[in-house]
Amino acid sequence: MSASFLCLNRNGEIELVDRVRLILAVLAGKTITSLIGILRLGAGSVFPGTIANRLQPQILDRLCRQVKYGIIIIAGTNGKTTTSLLLRQILERQGWRVAHNATGANLHNGLITALLESTDFSGKLKADYAILEVDENVVPKVLPQVQPKCILGLNLFRDQLDRYGEVDTISERWQRAIVQLPSDMVAILNADDPTLSYLGQKLVETGKKVKFFGLSEPGQYLDEIPHAVDSIYCPSCGHSLEYRGVYLSHLGDYSCPSCGFSKGQVAIDSQEWPQILIGIYNKYNTIAAALAAQEIGIESDPILETIANFQAAFGRAEELEVEGKKVRILLSKNPVGMNETIRAVTQIEETGGVSAKLIVLNDRIPDGTDVSWIWDVDTEKLVALGGTIVVSGDRVYDMALRLRYSQKDNSNGLKLVVKEDLSEAIATALESTPADKTLHILPTYSAMLEVRGFLTGRKIL
């Protein structure tokens, strides 16, 4: 069989053999998804894509080509799921059909599985837009196949160093991949992140369209730069950056006294947009989604209406009621994320009264096997609140040790409870939560999924 038979014909249609392989891959993927659902074997967010990709190695490319108006990639260390969900709801409010990996499966096979949900059995994908949350480390690998209309870069923090390496390495990979994309693609990047701001300015030099978002709210500055910062050196010359103020970690208003590098000019005024979910990081998620929606052509009023009615994505400041008590799940999977979670919890409990907390630390593949990052977390602030802190997870004793080292004395009556069994840990934390207070649960990624399983699908004990 000639190679040309497998290529695209003059009308741009996939030739017969390629088409048959696509249909078989779609049928296999959708069948597996159905079986997983019937047998209740899990979310089925990855395995269908794995099988489909084996039958048609070009399936991601084939499906992405069929998205009517374009694909939006959302990447970064923190905030991908919340931003993706908010942007999806904004687009759906306009009547558009959106394909979206809502489960957060953001590797290659997860993207395929998500697109299969919007594909019929003939291999035709029916979506106006696709919003794909993509793991920051695989962005360069999927860009050639996805060919996005827009790339939304939220932030770059140290996360799972055993897998990714440092943030500068990731940024360099992004730049090499993005410059190869068509000229009509737009990159929307966080100007408050020096690494992403520098990336955007370099992309502009290559002729790419770039828009920046960031905060313009000096009243939200931290009192000092956190010790667990990732990128306070100029990405252009290496000199220490001068900060007028920091919003979280190394994100803030900065400039380089040596080479003149500074924060990119933002295209959105953060003070004009409300913050619904707790945490300053969610303000970043809000304005990022708003700017992306505006770039598509959506007016401010429908965006604001969607924000006003927005509910948190699962595990991301998600609020539940369990056994008559309020529970809030705050995903905490790296130093910056957990520090911001602790900051939010501290602000709540300093004004509303101390409640119980549950911390669940796992070290599985989705979490990163290196848990040394917990020593970069400001757990002293959480311990200083007092009350009951229940600890569980695969690395429960690592977390308990970190908390014990955070305790100067026991003058605040802190009660530290170690429970290897997660169901017992959840039950203990609920029992320790006053009826008029909220139990805050701080889990890593795989731990968050387990916690939600207990809280929403099974009895505690």
Per-residue tens of pLDDT for the chain, all 461 residues: 344 434 445 445 546 778 889 999 999 999 998 888 888 776 678 999 999 999 999 999 999 999 999 999 999 999 999 999 999 999 999 999 999 999 888 999 999 999 999 999 999 999 999 999 999 999 999 999 999 999 999 999 875 444 444 688 889 999 999 999 999 999 999 999 999 999 999 999 999 999 999 999 999 999 888 776 767 899 999 999 999 999 998 999 999 999 999 999 999 999 999 987 888 999 999 999 999 999 999 999 999 999 999 988 777 888 999 988 999 999 999 888 899 999 999 999 988 889 999 999 999 988 889 999 999 999 999 999 999 999 999 999 999 999 999 998 876 789 999 999 999 999 999 999 999 999 999 999 999 999 998 998 754 44
With respect to residue 31, please indicate whether it lies within any of the assigned structural domains: no
User: Is the domain of 212 the same as that of 330?
Assistant: no
Total residues belonging to the chain? 461
User: Is the domain of 215 the same as that of 300?
Assistant: yes
End position of a domain, from candidates 273, 292, 308: 308
User: Is the domain of 365 the same as that of 412?
Assistant: yes
With respect to residue 161, please indicate whether it lies within any of the assigned structural domains: yes
User: Is the domain of 267 the same as that of 242?
Assistant: yes
User: Is the domain of 278 the same as that of 382?
Assistant: no
User: Is the domain of 285 the same as that of 379?
Assistant: no
User: Is the domain of 284 the same as that of 322?
Assistant: no
Question: What are residue 391's DSSP bridge partners?
Answer: 359, 418
User: Is the domain of 128 the same as that of 276?
Assistant: yes
User: Is the domain of 304 the same as that of 325?
Assistant: no
CATH of the domain at 359: 3.90.190.20
With respect to residue 397, please indicate whether it lies within any of the assigned structural domains: yes
177-184: list long-range contacts, CB under 8 Å, 24+ apart. 177/139, 177/140, 177/143, 177/144, 178/143, 178/151, 178/203, 178/208, 179/203, 179/206, 179/208, 180/143, 180/144, 181/143, 181/147, 181/148, 181/208, 182/147, 183/207, 183/208, 183/209, 184/149, 184/209
Contact between 1 and 16 under an 8 Å Cβ cutoff? The reply is no
The residue ranges of DSSP E strands in 64-182, in sequence order, are 70-75, 98-100, 129-134, 150-153
CATH of the domain at 104: 3.40.1190.10
With respect to residue 246, please indicate whether it lies within any of the assigned structural domains: yes
Sign for the pseudo-dihedral over CA of 102, 106, 111, 113: negative
SS3 372: helix
With respect to residue 448, please indicate whether it lies within any of the assigned structural domains: yes
User: Is the domain of 155 the same as that of 268?
Assistant: yes
For the chain, what is the domain count? 2
Strands 325-330 and 316-322: antiparallel
User: Is the domain of 157 the same as that of 294?
Assistant: yes
End position of a domain, from candidates 284, 308, 332: 308
With respect to residue 178, please indicate whether it lies within any of the assigned structural domains: yes
User: Is the domain of 158 the same as that of 263?
Assistant: yes
With respect to residue 20, please indicate whether it lies within any of the assigned structural domains: no
End position of a domain, from candidates 252, 281, 308: 308
Domain ranges, residue 134: 62-308
With respect to residue 45, please indicate whether it lies within any of the assigned structural domains: no
